[in-house]
Structure formats: C-alpha cells, structure tokens
Amino acid sequence: MSSEDKTYNGWTNHGTWCVNLWLTNDEGTYRHCRSLADDAKDAADDAPQVLEEIWTIEEATRFLLADALPEFAEEINPLADQASVFTDLITSALAEVNWHEIADAFLEE
C-alpha cells in the first residue's frame, strides 16, 4: 500500500491506527505481539502454501501474523462473551482493521 492510500496518521483508517497504538503502547501486549511475530516467522517454513510454492516465506509470515493478531485481540476483548450493542460495535470496528498492515509494522521492526 502506498503512502497516498493511507488516510489516518499514516495508517489505512482510524481503527487500524488505534489497534496498532494499543498493541504497541502496553509493554506486556507489545511483547506478546512480538512473540506472535516470532512464532509466525518460525511457522512460515512449514506452511503448506510455502511447501507448495504458492507463497514465499515472507508472505507466509505476514499472513500467519495477520491471522494471529485478530485472534489475540478477540482473546483480550473484555466484551467478547457478552451480547450487547457495544460488543457488536467493537466487532464491527475490528472487522475494518487492516491486520496485514499491523503485521507488516511488527515484521519491519
């Protein structure tokens, strides 16, 4: 994605910027996300798409991390198991997050 396509503080949208901010501003959360990035790097070599030469190792790492990050966000969501308008709004907002962009930011470090 080119810088011209980014629309909020250098990120795709406000939700992506906000989630990245929260994932990187708390030391424990940041360390967990770094661990997820390391796990994605370790698992990429054995990803079926890499073994079948569909993805490069770098692409597999990005996709694996982009899948792991929203799973982690769901785990730490304090409203995840509640039915309410607030849960629906959070779920809707998280669906707009560009998880690949956040994964790229973690992998560039």
1 pLDDT higher than 70: no
Type and span of the H or E element at 33 = helix 27-44
* Predicted model pTM: 0.88
Q: What is the pLDDT of residues 17-60, one digit of tens each?
A: 999 999 999 999 999 999 999 999 999 999 999 999 999 999 99
Q: What is the pLDDT of residues 62-103, one digit of tens each?
A: 999 999 999 999 999 999 899 999 999 999 999 999 999 999
Q: What is the DSSP letter of 6?
A: -
Tokens of 24: 């990187």
Q: Which residue has the higher pLDDT, 9 or 2?
A: 9
Q: Are 8 and 14 in contact (CB under 8 A)?
A: yes
